[in-house]
Amino acid sequence: MFDSENIAQLAWREAAFEAGYDLPLDVFQSVLGRNLPSYRDELVEALGEEFPLEAVYQRKQVMMDKYISERRLPVKDGLIDLLEVLERYDLLIAIASSSPGGIIERNVSSAGLSINGFDAYVGGDEVQNSKPAPDIFLLAAQKLGIRSESCLVIEDSNPGVQAAHSAGMPVIMVPDLMPPTILSQDIAFRILPSLHSVLDLIEDSAIN
């Protein structure tokens, strides 16, 4: 939904640099779409036992909070049109994010949207296991009151694609910084270049 990966990358790299570490791109990409507990061991293994992960993470959060509080969080191109079409067809919409619920609410508000415009939202602090486990999407379906197989997930991360597939939900991937893995290419219903393409697909399906 939000064009935040570039912001997150800059914040992660700056926070790590302040602590005396260089955060390689591949290491940053490994955390996308996941919450801290799920990648803690991987970061420590990649950067060393002395890497002050908790301090760097908190500093990263402060930087992102400052950026978002001072500027409107940009949404991905095509999102507003897509939301309008989904509402026109009276389809239920849920946000399922690895971020805590409070961050979801902040991001939605910063982007100029209303959290009341969504039928449900699930944060990473509400489930035991983060993506690529299916927990977040299963809880979202439960909150919407619909079966998993009746959901369509739109994701930009490989862990999210895996999570949706494990939940038994067809998933469209619109890649951001992280290109689709071979696994994502195998299990995704579609890999599309933009939300505009998702909108076209939904419109075509509704017509046919």
Question: Torsion angle, CA of 184/189/195/196, rounded to 10 degrees?
Answer: 140
| Closest-CA residue to 165 (of 144, 179, 151) | 151
**Residue 207 pLDDT more than 70?**
no
Q: Please, how many CA atoms are within 13 Å of residue 25, restricted to the half-sphere of its CB?
A: 4
Task: Tell me the pLDDT tens digit for each residue of 116-130.
Answer: 999 999 999 999 998
pLDDT at position 142 is 97
* Helix (H) / strand (E) containing 46: helix 36-47
Record the tokens describing residue 202, joined without a space: 């939904």
| Closest-CA residue to 47 (of 15, 91, 6) | 15
pLDDT band at residue 164 using 50, 70 and 90 as cut-offs: very high
79-207 — its CATH code? 3.40.50.1000
pLDDT band at residue 28 using 50, 70 and 90 as cut-offs: confident
pLDDT at position 5 is 78
Write the DSSP assignment of 91-121 as a string of letters. ---EEE-SS-HHHHHHHHHHTT--GGGSSEE
Task: Tell me the pLDDT tens digit for each residue of 9-20.
Answer: 889 999 999 999
**Residue 109 pLDDT more than 60?**
yes
pLDDT band at residue 83 using 50, 70 and 90 as cut-offs: very high
Please, what is the Cα angle at 103 between 101 and 104, to 5 degrees? 65
pLDDT band at residue 148 using 50, 70 and 90 as cut-offs: very high
Q: Please, how many CA atoms are within 13 Å of residue 59, restricted to the half-sphere of its CB?
A: 16
Delimit the domains of the chain by residue range. 5-70, 79-207
Residues paired with residue 190 on neighbouring β-strands, in sequence order: 172
Query: Amino acid letter at 182?
Result: I
Q: 5-70: what fold?
A: DNA polymerase; domain 1 (1.10.150)
